[in-house]
Amino acid sequence: MIKPIQNIFTKKAPEGFHFDDKEFAELGMKLKKNVSSVFGRSLAIREVDTGSDNSTEIEMVNLTTPHYDIERFGITFVASPRHADALAVTGAVTRNMELALKKTYEATPNPKIVIAVGDDACNGGIFRNSYAVCGGVDKVIPVDLKIPGNPPSPKEILKALLALMEKIKKRS
């Protein structure tokens, strides 16, 4: 009887758990420098789900958890496209979401940056030949960056954002 009570009130350290991901932190610091030089401030992203299976959204939400904490690198997610520098679109664009995606794109201030995240957003994925799907995001609005994967990991998303910032820096 004493053992279960001791288990409740005794602090235990997790074994073999390492919280730091050095490669992710290094990528993030490079991204922070590039975001600052391109925008002069943080990068605000509006995520738009146009018909996904939520696997990509789970990985995008993981970026905001304490483990990854993408906000320390100057990346924030915003609730309105009017406050966004970029749209991150997930999922194949369904016919029901086509108009909503176009309106969201129009509400985003110039210069518009569109990122297709995940296989479904890049090319329609397994739904590409469905009657209910328009296809990938590029069938509806112009896309600046495609991040393939089903779903892409938070590290892959960060690497792609870094590549996009370097591409924008070279253009200007």
Tell me the CATH number at 88: 3.40.50.12280
What is each CA distance from 130 to 68, 76, 122, in whole angstroms?
A: 35, 34, 15
Split into its structural domains, the chain has a count of 1
Which whole number is the average pLDDT over 49-64? 91
Q: Does a structural domain hold residue 45?
A: yes
Q: Which domain holds residue 134?
A: 40-171
Let me know: does 125 contact 100? Beta carbons within 8 Å: no
Q: Does a structural domain hold residue 63?
A: yes
* pLDDT at 118 (0 to 100): 92
* pLDDT at 15 (0 to 100): 66
pLDDT in tens, 123-144: 988 888 889 999 889 999 999 9
Provide the whole-model pTM: 0.84
Q: Does a structural domain hold residue 92?
A: yes
User: How far apart are the C-alpha atoms of 120 and 2, rounded to whole Å?
Assistant: 54
* pLDDT at 127 (0 to 100): 84
Is the predicted pLDDT of residue 17 greater than 60, yes or no? no
β-strand pairing of 43-49 with 133-135: unpaired
- Residue 13 confidence class, pLDDT cut points 50, 70, 90: low
Q: Does a structural domain hold residue 91?
A: yes
* pLDDT at 169 (0 to 100): 85
User: How far apart are the C-alpha atoms of 161 and 159, rounded to whole Å?
Assistant: 5
